[in-house]
Amino acid sequence: MKNLKKSENYINRELSWLDFNFRVLEEACDDKNPLFERIKFLSITSSNLDEFFMVRVASLKNMQVSDYEKKDAAGLTPACQLKKISEKTHNMVDKQYNIYTNKLKKELESENILIINRNKLSKKQKEFTERYFKEEIYPVLTPMAVDSSRPFPLIHNKFLNICALIKKGEDKKAFATVQIPSVFKRVIKLPSENGKNSYILIEEIVQEFLSMLFMGYNVVYSYPYRVMRDADIPIDEDDSEDLLLEIEKSLKERERSEVIRLEVDSGIKEELLSILQDELNVKEDDIYKINGPIDFTFLNEIYSEEEYDKYKYKPFKPQIRKELQCDDIFEKIRGGDILLYHPYDSFSTIVELIKKSASDKNVLAIKQTLYRVSGNSPIIDALSRAAENGKQVSVLVELKARFDEENNIIWARKLEKSGCHVIYGLRGLKTHSKITEIVRRDNDGIRRYVHLGTGNYNDITANFYSDIGLLTCSKKIGADAGAFFNMISGFSEPTCWNKLILAPLWLRKKTVEMIENEIKNAKEGKKAKITAKLNSLVDPDIIALLYKASCEGVKIDLIVRGICALRAGVEGLSENITVRSIVGRYLEHARIYYFYNNGKEDLFCSSADWMQRNFNRRVEIMFPIDDKNLKKDVIKILDIQLKDTMRSYIQHDGIYKKNKCSDKKLDCQEYYIKKALEKSVQNEENNDVVFVPQIKNKEK
């Protein structure tokens, strides 16, 4: 058999991620999406790109500085990757602003929604902005001049700024900068004229009246700019005596880390750009000249205006199924495993379970892992209350969850204060598992109730992340859950498990075994099939094994939302592999793995993607779906997504094209919205909440 690990058989993970963001961008210009959903998609591409630079590009730059020349599976060195990324991201930014200026902005204007600049203000609007500046903005601003006694100030990550050259009489020009304060909304609604809703960005107002900040000086010219800093700050766990303090230290280091991207107004004068470039130490390739407003996340503020609901998706509120609207959820779980498919099934079922456990006199202990939770988490409150009620509460709070470190430190301290036993993650690993164990004294003895999931215990993102959850009181899974928590809290390391499969010690081995079993069956002339739904497929060993399976005749269908390093449909390599990516109203976040296994149909859900980090550097859980009816339900989810004709992009040899099958229209997400409404007894007057699309790559 040919060499399956040749570099040309793999797609670089960073370039694949950029392809994913291009797919999100395609949704921004798809007329089939409501207008305000399209501006939301554009906003998402902007925030996605920010995180990509702060983490992935920063990591590659650190490798380059360290003279790290090792090639990735696709045969690219860090320097080569950075060059290709720069080319692709500059093209992406150009496309973003082309879509905004020539399509979305014009369509908004046709609906009498105007985003105007300071040069097009009417007299009435000009008077309003001047008054708003003097009364609201001016007292908050802090102009920063640069001279021999005032060094160049710290420019904070992702904050919008205005830079200017100022001059007094015949004096030499001086550089000055002012940060746009985040305490204000970025989008300011102007007085309505001629039935039109007009908005202006706060930086436009600041620029218009900038001279008031420099009395006695003439503002020669001014332009907005923004910097992106390296967020890939390593944490020295080996030499650290206190992980929490070490992470707090790293967060402070981020504030002054290297600038990896500079966004400036495309009209900026070279004289001013040169100062920024020199002071911030930015290379030419890392400068992005923006032909429009910097950072499209301001569109979220316009989206949130209630008066524009007619331009959005039809409202849908996650539903509580009739059988789960009960007083005793524990009795329901004892009656059989319960499968939840969020956001169609409401995550409130899980929140209420934790709340009930906190006050239930029969509950003795609650154990839970937390990776990312919401800013005002009801689960944190419930766990704290449980500890205060005298229950044994153990919580692993993963402090190393990127961009949630500060939030998680706050929660960890709150939980400790209330009497919970808190673990700050494990040295050298991220705990990415999603598991809760509730120990309860029932009439017939002690019983463990377990929740396992593919997504975080975040009641906010659960409204727009598509995830699977399982509630069970299976004795075998309960025993595994107890062993899991003993393992992460102490030095226990079970040699075998009943049902759960864990990374980093066992998940890779089990995954390889299941793929190889399908290969064996195919060689014997038996039906062999693999279907996998995941966020990212990168691990080169798993990809090589999938190529081998394809060559042996195994039918493989992959539903990969984001990064996919595998090339599908290549003759002699992956002819039996299909890859599709679903981009829609909800972020497809569930991980589901199906193996035909000669008709036994093994089915698993997991917190883990098929990436090196999930197999090798994270504590992950893969759990089986054993109940025959629930197994059918999950297989149906896979089947519906494979049949989707409205939200899927099909990949062939690394190139993605929107599935434009015209014979049968099927939107897999709308399908499950309809099914959720059919199963629920909630009436329409309660179905009044809009959850917006969040196509991010944050939690992975």
- Catalytically active residues, by annotation: 432
Count other Cβ atoms within 10 Å, centred on residue 137.
20
Report the alpha-carbon distance of residue 119 to residue 125 in Å, rounded: 11
Helices 35-52 + 13-28 axis angle, to 10: 160
> For the chain, how many residues are written?
700
Report the alpha-carbon distance of residue 685 to residue 663 in Å, rounded: 35
Nearest to 611 by CA among 529, 462, 458, 507: 507
Report the alpha-carbon distance of residue 408 to residue 397 in Å, rounded: 7
Residue 591, token pair as written in the block: 């991980």
Residue 315, token pair as written in the block: 């409202």
The HSE-up count of residue 556 (CA atoms within 13 Å, CB side) is: 31
Residue with tokens 């003759």: 571
The amino acid that residue 87 corresponds to is E
Nearest to 379 by CA among 325, 454, 337, 436: 436
Backbone angles phi, psi at 243, to 5 degrees: -60, -40
Report the alpha-carbon distance of residue 47 to residue 548 in Å, rounded: 37
Residue 254, token pair as written in the block: 């981020």
Nearest to 208 by CA among 168, 178, 182: 178
- Sequence-separated (6 or more) residues with CB below 8 Å from residue 435: 368, 369, 450, 451, 452, 453, 481, 484, 621
Nearest to 564 by CA among 596, 523, 599, 533: 533
Say if residues 570 and 584 touch (Cβ distance below 8 Å): no
CA 79 to chain centre: 26
Residue with tokens 């002012």: 178
